[in-house]
Structure 1
Amino acid sequence: MGLFSKKVSGLMDVIRCDEPSYLIWKWHPNGTKSGNNYRENAIRWGSSLRVKDGEVAVFVYKQKDGTEQDFIEGPFDQILETANLPVLASLIGLVYDKGTPFQAEVYFINLAQNIQIRFGVPFFDVYDSRFKDFGVPVAVRGSINFRIDDYRGFIKLHRLSNFSLEDFQKQIRDVVSRYVKDCVAHASAVHNIPLVQIESKVAEINDIIEYNLKERLSEDFGVIVSGIDINAIEFDKSSDGYRQLMSVTQDVTSATIKAETAAKVKDIADRQRIEVEHYGESLRIQREEAQYAQHKQTQTSNMGAFQVEKQAEVGIAGAEALGKMGTNGAGNIKFSGEGEGVNMAAMMASMAVGGAVGKNIADSMNSMMLGMNQSVQSSMTPPPVPEAEYYVAVKGQATGPFDICSLKKMRDSGQFTSESLVWKAGMTEWAKADTVDEMKSVFLEMPPIPN
C-alpha cells in the first residue's frame, strides 16, 4: 500500500509553477516566506504535483549522509506517492503521524524557454592595425539567447538553494563582455580592414563570438547558446583618438588616391606610347608588304619581259666572261721557252659560258617570236560561226538544246523524226521539224535503208 494511500485531513498543497518567465524557480507552501521559518519546505501528505511540458521539478531532501534528489519531468499531474517519488520510501521516520508534513525543497527548471540577456560593453580602446598610436573608444551592444538542456549537469554546476537569476545573468554578461572585447579589438588585423570600417564585419564578428561562447557557457554554466546578436558597434567620435585616426586616415587616403591616379596616368601614357610605336611599325610593315606585293604583281603581269631581263643579265655576265678570257690566259698561245702554250682549261670554260649565253639569247628570242606569232595568229583568225541549237519535245518535256549534228545522230537512232516538235530562240511557238527550213536538210540526207 502506498505511503499516501490513506485518507488524510487538513489543507493539502498543489505544487506547481505559475511564473510566466523564469529559468530556476523555488516553490513555497501557501502562507510562507522564503528563509523565515521551518515550514517553507514542508509538504503535506496527499499534496498534488503539476509539472508542465518543458519543465522539470527537482525535489531535494536533506539526509544524515548527505542530500537526495528526485526529478519529475513534465507533463505530470498526480498526487505524490512512493510510486512516483521513490525517495519517499526512505523517509520512514516521517510517517509516525498521518498529518505530519515532510521536509523537501522543490525547484522548477524551465527547459523550453530561451532566456535572453541584453548586454552592453562600455567604451574601451581599440587600435587600427595600421596606426597603433591612436586608441579609439569603441562600445558594443547586443543580446544573447540560451536555454538549459542537460538539467542534471546544470544542477551539478549550481547550488539550487541559493540560485539567483540576476547573479547568473551578471556572470554570463561578464563572460560575453570579455569575448566581445577580445574579438572586436583584433577585428581590424584579422579582417585586414581600417578600424572605421569594422561595422562592415559585424556578421563575421558575431559568428566568432557565438562559436567561442557556446563551448565556454556549456562547460562552465551548463546552458546551450541558441544565438548571439551584435546590434551595434559605436565609436566615440568626440574622442581625441578618433579625430587623430580620421585625420591620419584621410591623409593616407588622399596620398593613396594621388599615387593611384599618377600610376594610372603613367600606365595610360605608356600604353598610348606603345600603341603609337606599334602603330608606326605596323604601318611600315604594311607599306613594305604592299610594295612587295605590288612588285610581285608587276613581275607576274610582265612575266615575259621579266624572263627576257633575267636572261639578258645572264647574257651580259657571259659576255663579260668572254671579255675577260684574254686576261685569264685562255686565248694566249705561248711558244717554246715562254710557257705551256694554249691554256685549254680556260678556253673550254670560256666556250661553255659562251654557249650558255648563246642558248639563253636564242631561247629568249624564240620565246619572244613565238609569242608574237601566236598573238598575230590569234588576232587574224576569225571566231567560229555560231550554230543554231534547238529544243526537242520528248513526252511533253523540253530537252536540249541540240545542234544540227546532234539532231542528225538522233534521227539515225530514231529518237528524232519529222513529226517531232522543235523550238529555238526567236520562234514564237513549237513547230514540227519538217516545217522548219533549217530542219529540212536533216531529213533530206537520210541514210540508205539496209538490204
Structure 2
Amino acid sequence: MGLFGSKKEGGILDVIRCDQSDYLIWKWSPSGEPSKKMNAIRYGSRLRVKEGEVAVFVYDKEGGMDFIEGFKDEVLKTANFPVLSSIVGSAFGGASPFQAEVFFINRAGTIRLPFFVKKISLSEQWQQRLFVPATVKGAITFNISDYRAFISKYQMAGYSMDDLSLQIRDMVERYVKSAVTNAPYQLGIPVVQIERGIDQISEAVQAKLRDPLAEDFAVNLRRVDISDISLDTESEGYQALMNQGLAQADILEKQFAATGEATSRNILDQQQIGAENLAESLRINREETQRRQRLATESDFLTAHQIDVQGEVARTAAESLGELGGGMGGGDGLNPAGMMAGMMLGGAVGGHMAGMMGGMMQGLGQPGLGQQNLGPQGLGPQNFGAQPGMGQQPGMGQQPPVPPVPPAVQYFVAVNGAQSGPFTPEQLRQMIANRQVTAATYVWKQGMAGWAAASSLPELADAFGSVPPPPPAPPAL
C-alpha cells in the first residue's frame, strides 16, 4: 500500500476527492503534487467523500478542523462546515478563497511496514561465552481505528507519513531484538534451531508492541510477521555450538542404544520365564488330570474287584474244608464244626482283603490316609467279618462299603479377559508363588456366585502373605 497518492487534476474551483484505491492517509493538492503547504480553496468547490473515508479540513487560522465522514457529495457551504463558516464569513463575506489542508483517511485501510534488524548476538543459556550473529526480517501491519485520536495526536500540521513510519520502525526493531535475543532462554530453543520459535517470537513481539503503538502513535497494531531469522553459519560461535551439539547427540544415541538393548534383554528374559512357568503349570495340570481319571476308573471297578477277591477266598476255603474236617473229626464223615470254621475263615479273610484293597485305592486318592483300614496289628481282628452272600449270622460284624472319593476342588483363572483352567489348589498356590496369579486376579470355583479376587478367598488368603515382593529393577547401563 502506498503512503501517498497523487492527483493529476487541480484548480481553484475543483472537485476535492481521493481517487486512490490503496492508501491509509492521503493529502489532496490542487496541482496533484505532494505539498506541505496550505492550499487555496474557493468557496463553492465540490467535495466528494466515499463510504469508509473521512475528509479532514485543517485550517491555518486557530488550528481549526472540520471532519466530513463519507458518503458525501456536495458543494462546500458554510452551513456544512462550522469552522469554515467563521473563517470565510469574517474574511471576505463568504466569497473568497480560504487556506486549508485536506486529508483523506481510509478507515478500512492498513499499512504494512517492513523491518530489518541487524547485529543481534545470540547465545545459549548453558554456554554464554559463544555468540552467534543473527539478522531478522519481517513486517508489521497497522491501521487507524480512531481517526479523531490520530488527528488530535498529530494536529496534521506539516504531517508526514514517512516520519511516522520511521518512528514506528525504531520501536519495532527494539522490541524484535529483545524478543529474539531472549528466545533461547525464555522458550528453551537452541540457538542453532532458533527458527523453530518464529511463531512464538512473533506473538511475543505483537503482545509487547500493541499498547505502546496505541499510546505513542495512535495506531492499531493488526499483526507482526517475522519471516526470517538468519544465523551467520560461518561464525566461530556457530561452528563451536554445532560441534558440541553433534557430540552430545552421539552420546545420547549410544545411551539410548544401551538402554534399548538392556530393555530388550529384560523383556526376552521375562517372556522366557513366563513361558517356562506356563509349560510347567500345564505339565502339572496334565499329570493331575490323568491321575484323577485313573483313580476314578479304579474306583469304578473296586466293587467288582472286591467280589472277585471274596470269591477266590471262598474257593480256597472250600478246597481246604475237607482237610480241615479230616483233621478235626478223624474220619471220612461230614464234620459240621469244620465246615462252619472254614466258612467263617473264608469270609473273614475275603472281607479283610477286600477292605484292604479299598483302603489302598482310597489312600491313592487321598494322601495321608496311610493304613487306616488295616488296624493296629495289620491284619487285626476288627477287619474280619462275614461278607454278603457268605451266610453270616445275625450279630456278626459286617464290613461297611468303601466311601466314594470326594470330588477335588478345581479353580478357574481369568487371564487377560480369557478363562484358563481348571487348576487344583496346589497348582493355584504354585502359580501364586510364581506371580502368575496376583491378589487382584479373578478366580472361580464350583459353588461361587461369580468371579472374585483371589485374595478374597479364605483358603488362598494366606498364600499371598508368603509371596516375596517383586525384585528391584536392574540398574540402568
State the TM-score, normalized to the length of structure 1.
0.62
Displacement, 1:297? 1.8
Q: Which residue of 1 aligns with 2:429?
A: none
Q: Which residue of 2 aligns with 1:67?
A: 63
Q: 2: distance between equivalents of 1:231 and 1:360?
A: 113
Displacement, 1:231? 1.7
- Output aligned runs, 1:428-439, within 5 Å: none
Q: 1: distance between equivalents of 2:242 and 2:16?
A: 63
Q: Which residue of 1 aligns with 2:360?
A: 309
Q: Which residue of 2 aligns with 1:232?
A: 228
| C-alpha distance 258-42 of structure 1, shift in aligned 2 (>3 A) | same
Q: Which residue of 2 aligns with 1:147?
A: 143
Q: 2: distance between equivalents of 1:31 and 1:141?
A: 35
Q: Over residues 123-169 of structure 1, what are the superposed CA-to-partner deviations in whole Å (9 max), with x where a residue is unaligned?
A: 41223345444222222212222221210011222241132212211
Question: 1:183 and 2:168 equivalent?
Answer: no
| C-alpha distance 243-282 of structure 1, shift in aligned 2 (>3 A) | same
Displacement, 1:90? 2.3
Q: Which residue of 2 aligns with 1:87?
A: 83
Q: Over residues 156-191 of structure 1, what are the superposed CA-to-partner deviations in whole Å (9 max), with x where a residue is unaligned?
A: 222411322122112222222233223333333444
Q: Which residue of 1 aligns with 2:192?
A: 196
| C-alpha distance 224-359 of structure 1, shift in aligned 2 (>3 A) | farther
Q: 1: distance between equivalents of 2:360 and 2:298?
A: 11
Q: 2: distance between equivalents of 1:132 and 1:359?
A: 107
SS of the residue 1:321 aligns to:
coil
The one-letter code matched in structure 1 to 2:41 is I
Displacement, 1:87? 1.4
For structure 1, which segment, 158-167 or 185-194, has the greater mean C-alpha deviation from structure 2 after superposition?
185-194
Question: 1:24 and 2:51 equivalent?
Answer: no
The answer to whether the Cα contact below 8 Å between 1:50 and 1:78 also exists between their aligned partners in 2 is yes
Q: Which residue of 2 aligns with 1:276?
A: 272
Q: Which residue of 1 aligns with 2:42?
A: 44
- Percent of aligned positions with the same letter in both sequences? 36
Q: Which residue of 2 aligns with 1:348?
A: none
For structure 1, which segment, 162-171 or 182-191, has the greater mean C-alpha deviation from structure 2 after superposition?
182-191
Displacement, 1:98? 6.0
Q: 2: distance between equivalents of 1:320 and 1:237?
A: 102
SS of the residue 1:67 aligns to:
coil
| C-alpha distance 11-208 of structure 1, shift in aligned 2 (>3 A) | closer
The one-letter code matched in structure 2 to 1:47 is S
For structure 1, which segment, 202-211 or 106-115, has the greater mean C-alpha deviation from structure 2 after superposition?
202-211
Q: Which residue of 1 aligns with 2:333?
A: none
The one-letter code matched in structure 1 to 2:27 is K
For structure 1, which segment, 94-103 or 171-180, has the greater mean C-alpha deviation from structure 2 after superposition?
94-103
The answer to whether the Cα contact below 8 Å between 1:94 and 1:100 also exists between their aligned partners in 2 is no
State the TM-score, normalized to the length of structure 2.
0.59
Q: Which residue of 2 aligns with 1:164?
A: 160
Displacement, 1:242? 1.0
Structure 1, unaligned stretches of length 5 or more? 1-9, 325-352, 369-451
Match of 2:219 among 203, 206, 223: 223
Displacement, 1:96? 3.6
Q: Over residues 290-321 of structure 1, what are the superposed CA-to-partner deviations in whole Å (9 max), with x where a residue is unaligned?
A: 22222222211212457441468979546562
| C-alpha distance 53-295 of structure 1, shift in aligned 2 (>3 A) | same
Question: 1:106 and 2:96 equivalent?
Answer: no
Q: Please say which structure displays the higher CA radius of gyration.
A: 1
SS of the residue 1:297 aligns to:
helix
> What count of residue pairs does the alignment treat as equivalent?
325
Question: 1:321 and 2:367 equivalent?
Answer: no
Q: Over residues 397-450 of structure 1, what are the superposed CA-to-partner deviations in whole Å (9 max), with x where a residue is unaligned?
A: xxxxxxxxxxxxxxxxxxxxxxxxxxxxxxxxxxxxxxxxxxxxxxxxxxxxxx
| C-alpha distance 32-285 of structure 1, shift in aligned 2 (>3 A) | closer
The one-letter code matched in structure 2 to 1:84 is N
Question: 1:208 and 2:186 equivalent?
Answer: no
Q: 1: distance between equivalents of 2:119 and 2:384?
A: 112
Q: Over residues 46-104 of structure 1, what are the superposed CA-to-partner deviations in whole Å (9 max), with x where a residue is unaligned?
A: 222232333222122345xx432210122323221112111123236634466532233
For structure 1, which segment, 299-308 or 276-285, has the greater mean C-alpha deviation from structure 2 after superposition?
299-308
Q: 2: distance between equivalents of 1:196 and 1:232?
A: 14
The one-letter code matched in structure 1 to 2:44 is G
Q: Which residue of 2 aligns with 1:379?
A: none
Q: Which residue of 2 aligns with 1:342?
A: none
Q: Which residue of 2 aligns with 1:267?
A: 263
| C-alpha distance 282-360 of structure 1, shift in aligned 2 (>3 A) | farther
Q: 2: distance between equivalents of 1:29 and 1:246?
A: 62
Q: 2: distance between equivalents of 1:122 and 1:32?
A: 36
| C-alpha distance 310-301 of structure 1, shift in aligned 2 (>3 A) | closer
Q: Which residue of 2 aligns with 1:426?
A: none
SS of the residue 1:53 aligns to:
coil
The answer to whether the Cα contact below 8 Å between 1:311 and 1:360 also exists between their aligned partners in 2 is no
Displacement, 1:213? 3.0
Q: 2: distance between equivalents of 1:182 and 1:360?
A: 115
The answer to whether the Cα contact below 8 Å between 2:88 and 2:98 also exists between their aligned partners in 1 is no
Q: Which residue of 1 aligns with 2:342?
A: none
Q: 2: distance between equivalents of 1:28 and 1:259?
A: 75
| C-alpha distance 96-315 of structure 1, shift in aligned 2 (>3 A) | closer
Q: Which residue of 2 aligns with 1:294?
A: 290
SS of the residue 1:160 aligns to:
coil
Q: Which residue of 2 aligns with 1:12?
A: 13
Structure 2, unaligned stretches of length 5 or more? 1-10, 303-356, 389-396, 403-477
The one-letter code matched in structure 2 to 1:321 is P
